[in-house]
Structure 1
Amino acid sequence: MSESSKSKSSLNLNPSPTLQCKDLHEYLKSRSAQFLETLYNYPTICLAVYRELPELARHFVIRLLFVEQPVPQAVVTSWVSQTFAKEQNKACEALSELSVWQEAPIPGGMPGWMLAQSFKKNLKVALLGGGRPWSMSSSLEPDGKARDVAFLDAYALERWECVLHYMVGSAQTEGISADAVRILLHAGLMTRDAEDGSAVITRAGFQFLLLSTAKQVWLFLQHYLHTAEKRSLSAAECLAFLYQLSFSTLGKDYSTEGMSNNMLVFLQHLREFGLVYQRKRKAGRFYPTRLALNIACVRDGVATVAPLDAGNQTGYIMVETNYRVYAYTQTNLQVALLGLFTELVYRC
């Protein structure tokens, strides 16, 4: 499929400082100490935070994990050679920003460090077991209508593209809820037109469309969590469940047994966005999709799960000196996105 179009020279594409796709560290750093204290009651989050820490910070956590009294800061400093002073400062800063450890006085007036009690307790549960089950481990009978990875990938992409189609004003806008639209407005990705009240894309929205799918989903979910209380949901509980999904296995089904009513509501929202597949609302099982597993990969590192959109980047764009643009693509979403930046002349 080819497109011929002319560039819209009036479109302002200057970077917007308001669009920030924070990784887990940056997101948690922006939350209150009270929120973090609540969050560390979930072993899933403690494990996720531990994995995201700098290498040296993880080393400190393991050395302090079974110590029941404050350790002098001078002793912690002695664990690292002066050659790595910069890395040590970075590690200490990360542990303090995330309230993983706290300053604690030692008899004699010496300053010390001690892991936060809730973080220490629940990280032990995640690493060593014990306590209440924290993983989705309920056994299920074999699914007579089991779904393979190819189906889950296609389903996730179809559901997520409903959101993107709505943003670009495509004709394919079926399936997006009013709640999802409110999230787009809250995130500043869309705004209400002053004349007719319709939702129109913003400059930040343009940037959003150019992000990878994993970053788009994580940024969208950050704003969902900011408005979770309006749905009578706990942001901490929702975030813990998201990271529980990120530790799941692609292609495996999981039971809804034992999930609270609030989490069942949240599961339906994740179903709408394509993070989980569930054949029907009352089905006792669901399948996490690649979108859910990639939540843990939104960071400055190597993704452990292949991105969902890895195979959908084929296509060509040619721009002539007379500002005429030729695009070769079979994706309706890419055609609609091109229409935001250019004036479509013909399509074949």
Structure 2
Amino acid sequence: MNLSKQKKQHNLKFHHKTRILLLSELVFAAFFISIVYVTFIAYPSQNDQVKIGSTYMTMNNSFFPVLNEQIANYVEDHHDRLYNRDPALIVNKQVEELHAFIRQGVDAIIINPVDGNSMKIQNALRLAKKRGIKIIVVDSQMKSARYADCTILSDNYRAGQLCAQHLLRHKRSAQILLLEHYSAYSANNRIKGFTDTIKNSSQSQNFHIVDKINTYGQSEITFPLVERALKKGPKFNTIMALNDQAAVGALAAIDEVKLKRQIDVYSVDGSENMKKLLGVNHNAIATSAQTPLNMGKTAVKIAYKLIAGKKVPKKIILPVYLITNKNINHYNVLGWQ
């Protein structure tokens, strides 16, 4: 083989290797660019993430985990970050959580206050507001709405009204025990809606509040208190509970003492537990249903609008409706609405 032919073959091999090398470099470059896209665009850096803190008076109430799940899903879909905390009905613990959110540099706080009257919580929200953090209050309210950008509530007053209207339609008289949570504005509004409706009725002289118990809206607290009231307190034949958890505790107490007479139990929430009891426990009469699903979705969308600098309503009231032992078959008893 002559020298010219060898040189030509050598050049062909060189160019072939060069093309392969170039192609490899292009493939690697494309792969690197895709990694960069996924890392820095599809999944933003921590500094670019929206950060939201959520704290509710207690997570020992299925209403709040369901509400928070809607927020968590939305935040995750946007590749942002949610910090959720549980103060377990302790004001000082919720105050600590608020200060932790501030240190973590959250963009918004979604809060259900342990105590709407607490100056400690109010002062923590004031500091958060001063740092530019957006404040969304859910399912209750603060005594002063000064630091809340938006308050989202079920129509709590209407919820109490619905229970009272049902009672007035179905009984000619009643001796009523109220199960309350004195420091929760939402609970107070429910009870006020109930008592105002009774008081303003033409039948009011036949309906009497015989006692009140502060249950904190917890089944385990309600149970022994109602059991004691059944054994030693003034006689009653109707219970109005601030929420389903208190109602469930009251129903358990009635069963525990093996009471033979009827005690009509009303409440507010529309939780899975209460809806199941409406179908089988003759003392369970009705619950004014609210929807943590809608509340959570509304709260997180409001938070993102506020963070984006958009205007939102100062207060949003979500509708409620009455579920009774007569219409329960028209509703899904598995979970919340």
Same fold (TM over 0.5): no
Q: TM-score normalized by structure 2?
A: 0.24
- By relative contact order (CA 8 Å, sep 6+), the higher-ranking structure is 1
Structure with more strand by fraction: 2
Of the two, which has the highest radius of gyration? 2
